[in-house]
């Protein structure tokens, strides 16, 4: 007879902080930019980015669920939604994924970060 816990590996993995649950690999970057929210522009520092979204630091509190635009090379003001905000860090999901060719062009212009924080 099999154990009732035989198929719970996914639960154990979901609680393991070493497991990355992101849908896309993030690139570590070091870029100063800005986000426009509620008609005001706020400075941000982008920490990591993927074709689906980014994480940045901001001194302004941005509201979860809020639609914003974030300035990125090549794309200029790109629409995103705030997914989370915690201790000055902000997670944004782009409303439309960045196409691979455009993402490569952006990454060619953004300085990579040498170490994780």
E strands in 1-117: 27-37, 40-49, 53-58, 67-72, 76-86, 89-94
Mean pLDDT score, 43-66:
95
What is the length of the chain?
A: 117
- Judged by DSSP in three states, 102 sits in helix
| Residues 97, 54: Cα–Cα separation, whole Å | 11
Q: Which residues contact 117 (CB under 8 A, 6 or more apart)?
A: 47
List, for residues 60-116, the tens digit of each pLDDT value: 989 999 999 999 999 999 999 999 999 999 999 999 999 999 999 999 998 888 765
How many CA atoms within 13 Å lie on the side-chain side of 54? 31
The class of domain 23-107 in CATH terms is mainly beta
More confident residue, 18 or 38: 38
Placement of tokens 């005001």 in the chain: 40
Q: What is the pTM of this model?
A: 0.77
């Amino acid at each position: 007879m099999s154990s009732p816990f035989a198929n719970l590996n996914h639960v154990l993995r979901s609680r393991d902080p070493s497991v990355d649950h992101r849908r896309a690999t993030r690139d570590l970057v070091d870029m100063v930019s800005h986000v426009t929210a509620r008609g005001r522009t706020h400075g941000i520092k982008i920490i990591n980015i993927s074709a689906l979204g980014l994480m940045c630091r901001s001194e302004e509190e941005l509201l979860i669920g809020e639609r914003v635009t974030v300035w990125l090379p090549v794309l200029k003001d790109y629409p995103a939604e705030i997914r989370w905000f915690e201790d000055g860090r902000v997670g944004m999901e782009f409303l439309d994924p960045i196409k691979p060719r455009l993402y490569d062009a952006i990454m060619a212009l953004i300085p990579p970060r040498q170490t994780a924080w």
